[in-house]
Every structure is written in C-alpha cells, then in structure tokens.
C-alpha cells in the first residue's frame, strides 16, 4: 500500500483503507472526496464528505476507507473539559460516591 502525505493532508485513493490505532480524541477531517469511518465496537458508520469531520470517541482501532480519491487529515483535538469528563462518567454508570472521591481530578 502506498500512502502519500503532503504538508497537511493524507492523500487516499479509491477503496484505500487506513487503520488508526489509539486514535481516541483525534479528529478526522475530509478535505476532498468522501470517506467511511468506523470504530471498533461502535455500531455507527460515519460517512464524511469534503468539509466534514468526526472525532474518534472510542478506545481501540478505527478504520477509514476512501470511497473516491481525496484527502484527509488527522489531528488531536483539545482535551475534554471537566464537564465533558463528568458527563462521560455519568453515562458510563459511575456512582456519585466515586465522583466525590476525586474521579474527575485534572
């Protein structure tokens, strides 16, 4: 497989597949063309077209496949805020007592 990089983007050919490891918190931006993004254990299939982006929000590998020739970039997003971490912990079923013990310390 040949992957071409320029200064800011990754050029993908039709049907080219890219595996992203440890990508949680990274945003995949589609600059030209369209790509399919899926994450391990995630039932969603995300389709990105030029000008759209998606932030990987799960542990484990993710796959990016080009539908047509195009370019993408992958960049780390800002760390989640304290409120976002609290919301994620509450969604995971964390008990309030654990929150009082400092589970959200920065």
40 pLDDT higher than 80:
yes
Higher-pLDDT residue of 77, 32: 32
Indicate if the pLDDT at residue 4 is higher than 80. Answer: no
DSSP 28-95: EEEEESEEEEEETT----EEEETT-EEE--SSS-EEEEESSSEEEEEEEPPPPPHHHHHHHHHHTT--
For the segment(s) 4-100, the CATH number from 2.60.120.10, 3.40.50.300, 1.10.10.10, 2.60.40.730 is 2.60.120.10
User: Which pLDDT tens digit goes with each residue over 75-95?
Assistant: 888 776 777 777 776 766 665
Q: Are 25 and 51 a contacting pair, CB within 8 Å?
A: no
Strand partners, 35: 48, 66
Residue 47 and residue 19 in contact, taking contact as beta carbons nearer than 8 Å: no
Greatest CA separation found in the chain? Answer: 51
Which sequence spans correspond to the domains of the chain? 4-100
């Amino acid at each position: 497989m040949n992957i071409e990089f320029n200064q800011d983007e990754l050029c993908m050919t039709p049907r080219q597949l890219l595996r992203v490891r440890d990508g949680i918190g990274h945003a995949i931006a589609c600059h030209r063309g369209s790509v399919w993004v899926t994450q391990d254990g995630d039932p969603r299939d995300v389709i990105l077209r030029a000008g759209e982006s998606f932030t990987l929000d799960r542990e484990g590998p993710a796959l990016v496949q080009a539908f047509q020739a195009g370019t993408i970039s992958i960049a780390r997003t800002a760390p989640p805020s304290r409120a976002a971490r609290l919301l994620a912990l509450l969604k995971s079923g964390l008990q309030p007592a654990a929150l009082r013990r400092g589970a959200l310390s920065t």
